[in-house]
Amino acid sequence: MMPTLGPDWMDPQWLLERFGAQFFWVSVTIVFIECGLLFPILPGDSLLFSVGLFIARGDLGINLVTACLILSAAAFLGNVVGYEIGRAIGAPLYERQGRFINKRNFDQTHAFFDKHGAKALVLGRFVPIVRTFITVVAGVSRMDRRHFFLWSGVGAVLWATGLTLLGYALGGVQFIHDHLEAALLLIVAVSVLPMVVEWWRHRRAAASSASELAQADSAKIE
């Protein structure tokens, strides 16, 4: 039976049992890929939280500060790769219609970027899918590199370090240990919430525009 979190490789506890001490480096690799290589469904949020929690309960032999620095660096470098991909390949990426790389994902991310500007690189960190494509959009848009590096670095530290510290802080709470999967699902749900809100607002705006257009057409006929 498939676990609640999805396939086995999306379950941090399964990854820990399979890879042992190497779980940390598996997490670093996944964070890097999710942030820069256009594969948006990896469990970045839950992994960061789990790394902190596993450090707190002694499952990983790595210092908390070192872990935060390495994870933040992986998130930042992933973003740099995504930015350079967007800058090098440019607009043709938008025309692809693959499972993950498709126009709809780029359109949603571009709207997010247009709305929030440079701070989208920070806010987008906490929104699945958006955090994968936002750096590519910045590259396609030819955002100034220094400006990009600054805001991307801030976002990487806040996201990677923040979620890892949260996991560490809650690592001593027995209830979290007993209900780890539920806690991870809650984190995923909270991270997805901004996407749901944006989708609902976009749908309302589209419905309102369609209604106004219909009324205008009706008035012309009359």
Q: Where are the domains of the chain?
A: 8-192
Task: Let me know how long the chain is.
Answer: 222
Q: Which has the higher per-residue pLDDT, 220 or 16? A: 16
pLDDT tens string 48-63 = 988 998 998 888 889 9
Distance CA 74, CA 135 (A): 14
Say if residues 53 and 171 touch (Cβ distance below 8 Å).
yes
Within 10 A of 133 (CB to CB), how many other CB atoms are there? Answer: 26
Q: Which has the higher per-residue pLDDT, 204 or 5? A: 204
Continuous H helices in 20-97? 23-36, 44-56, 64-89
**Angle in degrees, 0-180, between the axes of helices 23-36 and 130-140, rounded to the nearest 10:** 50
Q: Enter the pTM of the model.
A: 0.74
Confidence of residue 14 (pLDDT cuts 50, 70, 90): confident
Does the structure show a pLDDT above 90 at 28? yes
pLDDT of residue 106: 64
pLDDT of residue 99: 53
Amino acid at 149: F
Does the structure show a pLDDT above 70 at 66? yes
The torsion region of residue 130 among left (phi > 0), alpha (psi -120 to 50) and beta comes to alpha
pLDDT tens string 29-51 = 999 988 887 665 666 788 898 89
Q: Per the structure block, which two tokens stand in for 2? A: 């498939």
Does the structure show a pLDDT above 70 at 135? yes
pLDDT of residue 180: 64
Q: Per the structure block, which two tokens stand in for 43? A: 């469990």
Q: Per the structure block, which two tokens stand in for 91? A: 């607009």
**Which residue in 98, 7, 79 sits closest to 36, CA to CA?**
79
pLDDT tens string 200-218 = 665 665 566 555 555 555 5
Does the structure show a pLDDT above 50 at 4? no
Does the structure show a pLDDT above 60 at 199? no
**Angle in degrees, 0-180, between the axes of helices 12-19 and 44-56, rounded to the nearest 10:** 60
Say if residues 30 and 43 touch (Cβ distance below 8 Å).
yes
pLDDT tens string 70-102 = 999 999 999 999 889 888 886 676 666 555 555
Distance CA 35, CA 206 (A): 30
pLDDT of residue 200: 62
- Considering only CA atoms, give the Rg of the chain: 20
Does the structure show a pLDDT above 90 at 190? no
Q: Label residues 58-68 b or e (16+ Cβ within 10 Å = b).
A: ebbeeebeebb
Say if residues 35 and 78 touch (Cβ distance below 8 Å).
yes
Does the structure show a pLDDT above 80 at 67? yes
